[in-house]
Amino acid sequence: AQSVTQPDIHITVSEGASLELRCNYSYGATPYLFWYVQSPGQGLQLLLKYFSGDTLVQGIKGFEAEFKRSQSSFNLRKPSVHWSDAAEYFCAVGTEYGNKLVFGAGTILRVKS
């Protein structure tokens, strides 16, 4: 069965610093990969997705992620973090187009000024 691991429960970065959130997945075939952000009391908002093609994908709010098949990873990055980026971030894997998602446990991002 597929699974997603987000090794970092909490991460704190200074405003303006770069960010990398880690995500490792377990799935035998080519996965569909997603990053979502959840602010308190809000639903999940899609940041970006990878289905195929270019392994570096760009998303909203200045985020990008790189798919590395050899490492089974899909890490999220942002070159300069803003205070408004403080939220919880979830990596998810889908096994078929349009099918259910399996989520990681999430990483809570704190931004200090």
Partner 1 sequence: GAGVSQSPRYKVAKRGQDVALRCDPISGHVSLFWYQQALGQGPEFLTYFQNEAQLDKSGLPSDRFFAERPEGSVSTLKIQRTQQEDSAVYLCASSLASEQYFGPGTRLTVT
Can you spell out the DSSP letters for 1-21? --EEE---SEEEEETTS-EEE
Nearer to partner 1, 15 or 108 (CB): 108
Nearer to partner 1, 104 or 111 (CB): 104
Give me the least distance between CB of 42 and partner 1, in Å please. 6
Amino acid at 107: T
Which helix (H) or strand (E) covers residue 111, if one does? strand 107-112
Nearer to partner 1, 28 or 41 (CB): 41
Contacting positions for partner 1 (CB under 8 A): 4, 32, 36, 41-46, 49, 51, 90, 92, 97-106
Phi, psi (deg, nearest 5) at residue 23? -150, 125
